[in-house]
Chain A
């Protein structure tokens, strides 16, 4: 029986549960024995000129190996590029200005305190509104703080002409912090003309190339190793400038250097996510048909334009969601502000798209007095329309949107809950029930044509080693890839070793982001296994002196034999030995023709205390369809984690700055990362609509849970108090925000 689709516990666990994972700060390698500890000096100013750095007192402190400033490092290349260390100007609180190297870890902060930096304050521009006025430019060489613009779709004013109802609203998709439990970390050693960098990264190969570019080195002399990584969520794509700085310090001083950031550094220095202001305009008929939808986006890019500046292009591309709306358009501007740079965080532009349209659809439903589930049903893309090209340029491969909605509504008991809601409203209960829907589609492996690599080796002992381009931070790739090998070759999982994240072992790869790993990396493993199988068949045929057509691979025994004649069986070890000293190998680079589009529907049930405004998440039910499921255990784990981060944005989390750009949420005491006590257990419904884009029929699940959950939770909170006249509450829907919304609505009546 095939192992595919069965529940298999993780091969990664035993090590993690006994000796613990080995993250960067745990490395105890000979190369790092003499490593100096790195501590950054960071700007306390949001916007300032640096007029002087005096490190004399720091350098005099016993144990200080070096104090490095921008003058010691290669300069930034482009006009809006980030320097490794701020040279003449800082653009956000937390930007690194100097790097102190000490013999002992505990000397680091002592020394950093002694580095004296003179700042000449500039007017801070922490908010997009002020930044857009271009009165104060973050990059004086540029004409504007707007660093990127774009447009998509076919929607203009005329599109709304035939609408009975048109609603416009400006909403916020707030800035959040990724908060992986392990922050940024890196260690570097320069020895024998090679630079080795251990980095908490999702993409060792990209990190290598970035280091090469920023330090002006040949990438061939650089080795990057990703050890265990304590969570990434997009925030550890490639390599952060602070880690490149650590590598530069090692290169420059000839001394190995190691760094792992404190959490308060992380909340300022690791990229933030989301941070869009959105204005939607939605129009349709009174019987519930949506005719036009336009989304205007102002993206807060933070102090330097990174991936964040481009996020809204993905938002624009996915703006239409699961709906068959004739006219859809999006426009965006990305603007720099004196805040932490924004980049990828679970969903990367797509949660923003879904949150906007799902809010807009509920808004429209409220306006025409129709149940939000019914409005959705009326507008979903019908199954026979796939592949479906949207007005904003996405081509959805497969989808069963109505089926997903029906399943989730049945599972939650929608009609019964609406009845209960009605009863509570009738009674005027303090605790009101809210139901929130979200139907979503999302794009995974957006860079499908960049593909992924896999090398598979079956050696003379009959064991298999997979060298995968994918790079896990907890997703369970090793388990899944071992399953693929076992399923294809009959080599048991416990004889399959998976290696990732080492550029010496795997020089060519893209790595993990955008929920690409299973469909690209997994397919590459599958194809490599198929190739090994073909090679083995040829070799075995020669050994048995039979024709290839007469041979079969007995998967249960892992043996090559003449069909139906086990006595002729050859083990993988025997065949591999016969193949040659390198055993049986295959190198595959799999490029898919296009991305895939998982989809789903979430229903959130919340209870709102109308006296305090506090919303409690009672139930969260989801359908998340990412095609064929390789291992339900892993898929469920991704869905759970995604739901939690999505609910966190809807209810609790927000990065905040004051008017001068001073961060207000720079510790975990102030940034309300979601905890177990505010979440329920989730109810997951299984649905598999395969894709034909790859032979496994799989799409990506890593971000779907987050994309689907945020709007459902937000909609539920608003739904709970909509009978009081509330039409919208911005995220996070904190108790005070809900209370204030109730008060405003009551005042209007």
Chain B
């Protein structure tokens, strides 16, 4: 079936299997490989992207379900001039990543969390990231990063979609 999904502001149109998972659409049709797949039971959150600005686990969404909608991945967070999103800045400043595999999903989950709760307590951050596993950091610095981004006060703003020509994926 044909789907048309706006990914980081650019329309991606493709003919795909009905069963194609959104995670694979992002990685292989849209060609954005930052979003990773870490499990097969919707447990780990590495595949988290924003669907119309809200965090979802893209491994448990069909591309078909996202047809006509808007997806944001970590590759779409920085501003048009390459300026980092406050959450990216905070993860770097607080050493909130080590191997980096969980990071794109963790960052997008954070963006969504702060959009809904711009001034969370530490407890709210920890519970708010219940759906995102990290094996490297012990979460300590991830929590610091989220709180730092919150403090910066702009952590919740979803990035403005960039106007880009429609791209036909084969």
Give me the interface of A with B, judged by CB distance under 8 Å: 9-10, 12-14, 16-23, 25-26, 28, 105-106, 178-183, 228-231, 233, 262-264, 473-476, 633-634, 636-637, 640-645, 667-669, 673, 675-677, 679, 681-682
Contacts and interface: CB of A to CB of B under 8 A. Distances in A.
Bin chain B's interface residue count.
35 or more
Contacts of A13: 91-92, 97
Contacts of B122: 681
B43 A668 contact: yes
| Interface hub of B34, B102, B129 (most chain A Cβ within 10 A) | B34
Contact of A667 (B40, B130, B143): B40
A676 B74 contact: no
A679 B99 contact: no
A642 B139 CA distance: 11
Interface stretch (B16-24, B64-72, B156-164): B16-24
| Interface hub of A179, A675, A681 (most chain B Cβ within 10 A) | A675
Contacts of B169: none
B36 A230 contact: yes
A679 B139 contact: yes
B30 interface: no
B140 A681 contact: yes
Given A18-B77, A640-B140, 20 more contacts: A13-B97, A16-B97, A17-B91, A17-B103, A20-B32, A21-B103, A22-B33, A23-B36, A181-B44, A181-B101, A181-B136, A230-B36, A233-B135, A263-B41, A474-B136, A636-B95, A640-B139, A641-B98, A676-B130, A676-B132
A259 to B, nearest CB: 13
Nearest to A17: B88
Interface string B34-74: 11111111011010000000000000000000000000001
* Dominant secondary structure at the B interface: loop
A676 B126 contact: yes
A-B residue pairs, 8 tightest by C-beta: A20-B34, A230-B101, A474-B99, A474-B98, A644-B138, A16-B100, A640-B138, A668-B43
B117 interface: no
B101 A633 contact: no
B1 interface: no
Contacts of B91: 13, 17
A57 B34 CA distance: 36
Contacts of A20: 32-36, 74-75, 100, 103-104
A572 to B, nearest CB: 28
A474 B100 contact: yes
Contacts of A18: 34, 74-75, 77-78, 84, 88
B134 interface: yes
Contacts of A181: 36, 38, 44, 46, 99, 101-102, 133-136
A17 B77 CA distance: 10
B31 to A, nearest CB: 8
Nearest to B44: A668
B74 to A, nearest CB: 6
Given A668-B43, A676-B142, A12 B38 contact: no
A511 to B, nearest CB: 15
Contacts of A22: 33
B130 A677 contact: yes
A620 to B, nearest CB: 10
Nearest to B91: A17
A640 B24 contact: no
Contacts of A25: 33, 36-37
A229 B135 CA distance: 13
Nearest to A267: B39
Given A669-B41, A681-B143, A21 B99 contact: yes
B137 interface: yes
Contacts of A264: 40-41
B138 A642 contact: yes
A16 B91 CA distance: 11
Contacts of B132: 676
Contacts of B134: 181, 676
B107 A17 contact: yes
Given A17-B91, A22-B33, A679-B126, A637 B46 contact: no
Contacts of B133: 179, 181, 668, 673, 675
A645 B17 CA distance: 39
Contact of A263 (B27, B44, B144): B44
B137 A231 contact: no
B138 A9 contact: no
Contact of B136 (A636, A641, A676): A641
A47 B127 CA distance: 41
Contacts of B144: 681
A39 to B, nearest CB: 13
Nearest to A16: B100
Nearest to B99: A474
A504 B137 CA distance: 31
A105 B88 CA distance: 32
A668 B127 CA distance: 18
A476 B34 CA distance: 19
Given A20-B74, A21-B101, A182 B36 contact: yes
25 contacts: A16-B97, A17-B84, A17-B88, A18-B75, A18-B78, A18-B88, A20-B33, A20-B34, A20-B74, A23-B101, A106-B17, A181-B36, A181-B44, A181-B136, A230-B101, A231-B101, A231-B135, A263-B39, A263-B41, A264-B40, A474-B98, A673-B133, A675-B133, A676-B127, A681-B140
B154 interface: no
Contacts of B137: 637, 640-641, 644
A74 B31 CA distance: 37
B144 to A, nearest CB: 8
Interface in B88-120: 88, 91-93, 95, 97-104, 107
Contacts of B95: 9-10, 633-634, 636-637
Contact of A668 (B34, B39, B141): B39
A262 B47 CA distance: 13
Contacts of A262: 39-40
